[in-house]
């Protein structure tokens, strides 16, 4: 049965909404009335998703582009539930219905019922999920398709859930590592700005009637304070304008490629970017090949998970070289952008027939190295931020105290 979303009034006149299955809108309305609900609107979930896809080409105030969407945790939970129920031997339509009933989020329930309705119409699970590309990406659908064709859909879903959780953990570690330095930067800029705009002008009034020559540091501080007081708002607008202009410039593919190439050459952060992208690439490639996806198709899908344009184009060249008959390790070595460890492990995997296992192994090594590199980089960045903040405060204090010391010397004479 197709899924329908509805809005209705209960016996107390309170508006309720949800998802229900039925043969038609009329059938759904009758079901709602049987539950003592007065139906207001009943819409097919399939039509609603199609309308949302059409609306996504324009501006939407709620930013719900491309229909319902789920976070990593929700997708991982759904995948884990699907794997457990499928391996218990239940038919696919009952599995999808049970997963929908267990889902607490309306979006997840709508998605599962919509997929189930397409499965009941004769489509495969991968084909049904293909109608929701914003929820189930190329990697997800390729593994589902491989699991269905091989007859090992349950184990493949377990691998997918593990991969989703591991990817989310890596992402969260990177985000948590960046919280402290970003917070320090914001706090330091805020503190210095308040001192320069509110405190310094009041203290500098003490020296206005003084006929003594002010130290250079004090003059510089006064000039900076006056600039921020008179033009601080325009400076902020300028910074925002520059950020918007740079964002517009980077929409060009050629400029974006140059920017991404420059990112990879940065002293510390370039290595972090390379390790992060390589770990994602090798993990995706290993997961796909281990699930039975053909190597060439796996290479094309793995290229889509990369966000750095230089590495993305290099991975496309690798796929083309493999298509022409070259071994994977030689194709990777030819583009000369991926870490040597990845190339060596791929060569070892191709030699002993354990390519998928070696790719998964190298992805774990890359993730460990990435975590170590992030900790090292943050360890270097944190004291720098403390020194920067402390240096600015010391400069302001000394610029204020120097003329005071000078006045005291003159009075003592």
Q: What would the DSSP string read from start to end of 338-380?
A: S-HHHHHHHHHHHHHT-HHHHHHHHHHHHHHHHHHHHHHHHHH
Rounded to a whole number of angstroms, the CA Rg of the chain reads: 30
Q: What pLDDT is attached to residue 321? A: 92
- pLDDT at res. 241: 93
The residues pairing with 19 across neighbouring beta strands, listed in sequence order, are 5
Is 111 within 8 Å of 133 (Cβ atoms)? no
What residues contact 125, with CB distance under 8 A and at least 6 apart? 92, 115, 119, 144, 148, 153
Count the alpha carbons within 13 Å of 369 in the hemisphere toward its beta carbon.
Answer: 19
Contact 36, 147 (CB under 8 A): no
Q: What is the pLDDT of residue 192?
A: 82
Give the residue among 257, 204, 238, 223 at the shortest CA–CA distance from 403: 204
What pLDDT, on a 0 to 100 scale, did the predictor assign at position 116?
Answer: 86
CB count within 10 Å of CB 355 equals: 23
Tens of pLDDT, residue by residue, the chain (413 residues): 566 777 777 777 777 777 776 667 777 777 778 877 777 777 776 554 444 444 433 333 333 444 566 777 888 888 888 988 988 888 888 888 888 888 888 888 888 888 888 888 888 888 888 888 888 888 888 888 888 877 778 888 888 888 888 878 777 877 777 787 788 888 888 888 888 888 778 777 666 666 667 788 888 888 888 888 888 889 889 999 999 998 898 888 888 889 889 988 888 788 888 888 888 888 888 888 888 888 888 888 888 888 889 998 999 999 999 999 899 999 999 998 888 888 999 999 999 888 888 988 888 888 888 888 887 877 777 788 788 888 888 888 888 888 777 766 655 55
Q: Which candidate, 298, 338, 297, 294, places its Cα nearest to that of 314?
A: 338
CB 161 within 8 A of CB 79: yes
Cα 181 to the center of its chain, rounded Å: 19
Residue 66 has a pLDDT of 45
């Amino acid at each position: 049965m197709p899924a329908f979303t509805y809005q209705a009034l209960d016996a107390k006149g309170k508006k309720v909404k949800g998802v229900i299955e039925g043969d038609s809108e009329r059938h759904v309305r009758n079901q709602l009335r049987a539950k003592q609900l007065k139906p207001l609107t009943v819409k097919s979930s399939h039509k609603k998703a199609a309308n949302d896809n059409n609306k996504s080409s324009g501006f939407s105030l709620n930013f719900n582009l491309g229909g319902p969407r789920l976070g990593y945790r929700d997708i991982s939970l759904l995948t884990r539930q699907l794997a457990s129920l499928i391996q218990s031997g239940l038919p696919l339509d009952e599995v999808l219905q049970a997963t929908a009933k267990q889902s607490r989020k309306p979006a997840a329930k709508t998605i599962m019922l919509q997929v189930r309705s397409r499965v009941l119409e004769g489509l495969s699970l991968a084909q049904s999920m293909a109608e929701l590309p914003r929820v189930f990406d190329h990697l997800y659908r390729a593994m589902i398709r491989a699991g269905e064709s091989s007859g090992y859909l349950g184990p493949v879903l377990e691998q997918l859930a593990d991969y989703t959780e591991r990817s989310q953990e890596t992402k969260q570690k990177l985000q948590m590592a960046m919280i402290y330095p970003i917070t320090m930067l914001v706090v330091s800029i805020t503190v210095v700005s308040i001192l320069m705009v509110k405190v310094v002008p009041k203290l500098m009034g003490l020296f206005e009637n003084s006929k003594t020559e002010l130290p250079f540091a004090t003059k510089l501080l006064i000039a900076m304070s006056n600039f921020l007081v008179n033009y601080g708002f325009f400076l902020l607008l300028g910074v925002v304008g520059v950020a918007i202009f740079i964002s517009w410039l980077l929409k060009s593919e050629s400029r974006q490629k140059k920017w991404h190439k420059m990112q990879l050459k940065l002293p510390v952060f370039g290595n972090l970017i390379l390790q992060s992208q390589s770990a994602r690439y090798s993990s995706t490639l290993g997961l796909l090949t281990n699930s039975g996806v053909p190597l060439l198709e796996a290479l094309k899908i793995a290229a889509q998970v990369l966000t750095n344009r230089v590495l993305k184009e290099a991975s496309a060249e690798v796929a083309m070289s493999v298509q022409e008959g070259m071994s994977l390790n030689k194709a990777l070595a030819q583009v000369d952008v991926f870490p040597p460890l990845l190339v060596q492990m791929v060569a070892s995997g191709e030699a002993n027939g354990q390519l998928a296992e070696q790719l998964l192994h190298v992805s774990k090594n890359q993730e460990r190295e990435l975590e170590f590199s992030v900790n090292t980089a943050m360890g270097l960045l944190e004291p720098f931020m403390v020194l920067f903040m402390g240096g600015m405060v010391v400069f302001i204090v000394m610029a204020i105290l120097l003329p005071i010391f000078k006045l005291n010397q003159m009075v003592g004479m």
